[in-house]
């Protein structure tokens, strides 16, 4: 046993099991051949079979080729959670293009940068009022030459606000775009080494960077999850899972864990345009969903249901949390109330999602992100020297190596080179490994607070604050402090029936739960906390909001010195 933690792997799974690489068009073609008439996606109660999905993707691919979007070109997707996403995603890839994902919740500056940086001159969007006006600005700025507009009503009328499509020769509806497009005698040759996706990430210290994810990276990610979950699937008789997808498909977590993995296995994706607690509960209680991957804020919302004790979660076989650290208290609460273990793995955009996971049986280690998955190597290195590997128990930066790891950032050779040490990707996550091979996250390197010379990790403080009975959600960030240089401040959203408390009350509550140097210097109660596009709480956005008024905020909320 050469890799720490392998002793706890599911029975029959080895770290060195074969990880299969291929291309994404082949993944869809094989799924269509294997599962044909079986429903691949259900959207607005309408099923779309595997065969139909491939046929629609091939029509899109033929149209992309006709439009000049073949090998070496980029196609930008500015879409929400509708079948338009997988149709155009696989269509562009089959034409030989690379896809650039744009988040519908990004601001115009970040979006314009992504379009320009990716080199995409063709953009696919929807006539939804939340999308089309922004997409039109890219045309006005000259960032794109062609705008393809998918009509949302095609999937059934739900009353979602839509915008009128202007009469402009550069704008075409998706229906008109594919009309008359003829499939080629031979599709462009796509290889595992070709870049399939520019998945933009970062941007906390500057503009977002496009992680270059190859067909091989993405299919490896699917294979890693296949290998890890094979014993559990076999034990259940390889049933067809009903997978709830409320995570945005433009995010790597949903793309790999839900879309690609589900298609690979012949599962049914129950696709939601947005997260709505009652819609998700209908999927679970009425439609008998078996798998629900979410982010912590979704689980917090479900845990807050007033009639949680009376809800029926019995159909769920697998539940998971990703995208952000899961508060231990929320996991414990959910297990107490619902009787199901909610565990959080770890991964990144740059790893196509996989990194660590929890085995179905093994030591119960609250707060752990689990073991490194098959084919993936993780270690912990010194914060001062990224080539110095640290022993178990010592806190440092986590590095990762594997077939799923990006080869670098698009058009950024310097940043790409700086992101690797000894051939391993530097994640920017601070954590440690215990003697059993379980990894624990302490915080993000850029989120670390240096207070009086001590390293203070906001996530550790947040975990402790979540144990307070009145706290619904919390973010901790660093603020200026004349005495310590920096100090921790907690921004708290209270539960509906809870009352605010003083900073002294909070410090008394936390005494013994965190170190003295970690005790918050200030607290502020807010109605809402900012979130990222995938729904996780955003420290970066909160920091940006605080900059203009930090001095007045400090005096108003009781900063201690």
Q: What does the pLDDT read at residue 393?
A: 96
Token reading at 153: 């009503």
* Spatial contact of 25 and 71, defined as CB atoms under 8 Å apart: no
Q: Is it the case that residue 114 has pLDDT exceeding 90?
A: yes
Looking at the structure, tell me whether residues 261 and 126 fall in a common domain. no
Q: Is it the case that residue 124 has pLDDT exceeding 60?
A: yes
Final residue before a domain boundary, out of 409, 444, 479: 444
- Structural domain of 493: 448-557
Confidence band, pLDDT 50/70/90 cuts, at residue 53: very high
DSSP code at position 74: E
Range from 172-181, 246-255, 262-271 carrying the lowest mean pLDDT: 246-255
Most confident of 28-32, 295-299, 305-309, 493-497: 28-32
Q: For the residues 2-11, what does the mean pLDDT come to?
A: 89
Q: Is 459 within the bounds of a domain?
A: yes
Closest CA to 82 of 27, 37, 44: 44
Looking at the structure, tell me whether residues 468 and 390 fall in a common domain. no
DSSP code at position 255: I
Looking at the structure, tell me whether residues 228 and 143 fall in a common domain. no
Looking at the structure, tell me whether residues 63 and 40 fall in a common domain. yes
Final residue before a domain boundary, out of 444, 479, 498: 444
* Spatial contact of 15 and 3, defined as CB atoms under 8 Å apart: yes
Confidence band, pLDDT 50/70/90 cuts, at residue 483: low
Phi, psi (rounded to 5 degrees) for 245? -120, 95
Q: Is it the case that residue 202 has pLDDT exceeding 60?
A: yes
User: Who's near 432: CB < 8 A, 6+ residues apart?
Assistant: 380, 390, 392, 393, 394, 395, 396, 439, 440, 442
* Spatial contact of 390 and 381, defined as CB atoms under 8 Å apart: yes
**Helix pair 24-35, 215-235: axis angle to 10 deg:** 30
Q: What does the pLDDT read at residue 452?
A: 65
Q: Is 168 within the bounds of a domain?
A: yes
Q: Is 296 within the bounds of a domain?
A: yes
Q: What CATH number is associated with residue 154?
A: 3.40.50.980
Alpha helix positions (H), 304-393? 328-338
Q: What CATH number is associated with residue 281?
A: 3.40.50.12780
Closest CA to 114 of 533, 421, 464, 475: 533
Q: Which residue has the higher pLDDT, 325 or 163?
A: 163
Mean pLDDT estimate for the chain: 90
Q: What does the pLDDT read at residue 553?
A: 35
* Spatial contact of 557 and 524, defined as CB atoms under 8 Å apart: yes
Q: For the residues 89-110, what does the mean pLDDT come to?
A: 91
Q: Is 454 within the bounds of a domain?
A: yes
**Measured between alpha carbons, how far is residue 548 from residues 50, 370, 484, 528, 553 in Å?**
51, 39, 21, 18, 10
Range from 61-70, 382-391, 446-455, 528-537 carrying the lowest mean pLDDT: 446-455
Q: For the residues 461-476, what does the mean pLDDT come to?
A: 93
Confidence band, pLDDT 50/70/90 cuts, at residue 203: very low
Q: Is 167 within the bounds of a domain?
A: yes
Confidence band, pLDDT 50/70/90 cuts, at residue 381: very high
Most confident of 315-324, 410-419, 439-448: 410-419
Q: For the residues 198-222, what does the mean pLDDT come to?
A: 86
* Spatial contact of 23 and 456, defined as CB atoms under 8 Å apart: no
Looking at the structure, tell me whether residues 35 and 15 fall in a common domain. no
Looking at the structure, tell me whether residues 179 and 231 fall in a common domain. no
Q: Is it the case that residue 49 has pLDDT exceeding 90?
A: yes
* Spatial contact of 290 and 313, defined as CB atoms under 8 Å apart: no
Final residue before a domain boundary, out of 427, 444, 461: 444
Looking at the structure, tell me whether residues 127 and 55 fall in a common domain. yes
Looking at the structure, tell me whether residues 488 and 419 fall in a common domain. no
Looking at the structure, tell me whether residues 121 and 50 fall in a common domain. yes
Range from 301-310, 485-494, 545-554 carrying the lowest mean pLDDT: 545-554
Q: For the residues 463-473, what does the mean pLDDT come to?
A: 93
Residue 291: count of CB within 10 angstroms of its CB: 22
Classified as helix, coil or strand, 77 is strand
Percent of the chain with pLDDT over 70: 94
Q: How far apart are CA 401 and CA 377, in angstroms?
A: 5
Q: Is 45 within the bounds of a domain?
A: yes
Q: What does the pLDDT read at residue 151?
A: 96
Token reading at 428: 């920017």
* Spatial contact of 136 and 78, defined as CB atoms under 8 Å apart: no
Looking at the structure, tell me whether residues 271 and 362 fall in a common domain. yes
Token reading at 258: 């839900």
Q: CA 335 from chain center: how many Å?
A: 23
- The label of the residue with tokens 């210097």 reads 521
Q: Is 199 within the bounds of a domain?
A: no
Query: Which runs of E-coded beta strand occur in 434-537?
Result: 439-444, 449-451, 454-456, 471-481, 485-494, 522-525
Phi, psi (rounded to 5 degrees) for 458? -50, -40
Phi, psi (rounded to 5 degrees) for 397? -90, 135
Q: What does the pLDDT read at residue 551?
A: 37
Looking at the structure, tell me whether residues 289 and 332 fall in a common domain. yes
Burial string for 134-172 (b: 16+ CB within 10 Å, else e) reads bbbebbeeebbebbbbbebeebeeeebebbeeeeeeebb
Looking at the structure, tell me whether residues 413 and 464 fall in a common domain. no
End-to-end CA distance of the chain: 51
Query: Which runs of E-coded beta strand occur in 37-115?
Result: 39-43, 46-49, 74-77, 98-101
Q: What does the pLDDT read at residue 548?
A: 58
Q: What CATH number is associated with residue 509?
A: 3.30.300.30
Q: Is 514 within the bounds of a domain?
A: yes
* Spatial contact of 373 and 354, defined as CB atoms under 8 Å apart: yes
Token reading at 468: 């307070």
Q: What does the pLDDT read at residue 535?
A: 77
Q: For the residues 515-537, what does the mean pLDDT come to?
A: 87
Q: What does the pLDDT read at residue 84?
A: 98
Number of domains in the chain: 3
């Amino acid at each position: 046993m050469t890799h720490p933690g392998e002793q706890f792997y599911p029975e029959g799974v080895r770290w060195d099991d074969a990880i299969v690489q291929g291309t994404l068009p082949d993944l869809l073609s094989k799924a269509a051949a294997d599962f044909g008439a079986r429903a691949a996606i259900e959207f607005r109660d309408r099923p779309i079979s595997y065969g139909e999905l491939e046929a629609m993707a091939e029509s899109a691919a033929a149209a992309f080729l006709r439009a000049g979007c073949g090998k070496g070109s980029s196609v930008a997707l500015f879409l929400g959670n509708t079948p338009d996403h997988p149709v155009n995603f696989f269509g562009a890839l089959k034409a030989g293009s690379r896809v650039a994902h744009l988040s519908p919740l990004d601001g115009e500056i970040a979006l314009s940068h992504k379009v320009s940086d990716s080199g995409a001159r063709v953009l696919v969007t929807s006539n939804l009022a939340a999308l089309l006006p922004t997409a039109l600005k890219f045309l006005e700025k000259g960032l794109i030459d062609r705008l393809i507009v998918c009509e949302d009503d095609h999937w059934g009328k739900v009353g979602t606000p839509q915008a009128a499509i202007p009469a402009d020769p550069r704008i075409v509806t998706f229906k008109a775009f594919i009309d008359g497009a003829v499939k080629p005698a031979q599709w462009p040759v796509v290889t595992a080494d070709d870049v399939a996706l520019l998945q933009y990430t970062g941007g906390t210290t500057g503009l977002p960077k496009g992680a270059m994810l190859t067909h091989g990276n993405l299919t490896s990610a699917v294979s890693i999850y296949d290998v890890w979950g094979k014993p559990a699937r076999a034990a259940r008789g390889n049933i067809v899972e009903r997978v709830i997808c409320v995570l945005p498909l433009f995010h790597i977590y949903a793309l790999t864990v839900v879309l690609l993995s589900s298609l690979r296995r012949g599962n049914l994706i129950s696709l939601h345009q947005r997260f709505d607690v009652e819609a998700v509960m209908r999927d679970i209680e009425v439609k008998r969903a078996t798998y629900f991957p979410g982010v912590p804020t979704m689980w917090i919302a479900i845990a807050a249901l007033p009639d949680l004790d009376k809800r029926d979660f019995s159909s769920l076989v697998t539940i998971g949390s990703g995208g952000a650290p899961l508060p231990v208290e929320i996991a414990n609460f959910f297990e107490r109330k619902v009787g199901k273990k909610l565990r959080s793995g770890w991964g990144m955009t740059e790893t196509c999602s996989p990194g660590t996971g929890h085995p179905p049986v093994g030591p119960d280690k609250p707060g752990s992100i689990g073991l490194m998955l098959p084919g993936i190597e993780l270690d912990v290195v010194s914060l001062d020297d990224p080539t110095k590997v640290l022993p178990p128990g010592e806190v440092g930066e986590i590095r990762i190596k594997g077939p799923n790891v990006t080869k670098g950032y698009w058009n950024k050779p310097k940043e790409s080179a700086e992101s690797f040490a000894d051939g391993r990707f530097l994640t920017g996550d601070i954590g440690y490994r215990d003697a059993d091979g379980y990894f624990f996250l302490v915080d993000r390197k850029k989120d670390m607070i240096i207070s009086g010379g001590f390293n203070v990790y906001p996530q550790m403080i947040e975990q402790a604050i979540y144990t307070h009975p009145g706290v619904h959600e919390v973010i901790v960030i660093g603020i200026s402090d004349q005495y310590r240089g920096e100090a921790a401040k907690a921004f708290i959203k209270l539960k509906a029936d809870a009352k605010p408390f003083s900073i002294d009350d909070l410090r008394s509550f936390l005494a013994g739960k965190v170190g003295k140097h970690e005790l918050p210097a200030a607290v502020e109660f807010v109605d809402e906390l900012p979130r990222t596009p995938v729904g996780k709480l955003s420290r970066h956005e909160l920091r940006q909001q605080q900059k203009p008024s930090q001095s007045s905020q400090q005096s108003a909320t009781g900063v201690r010195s």
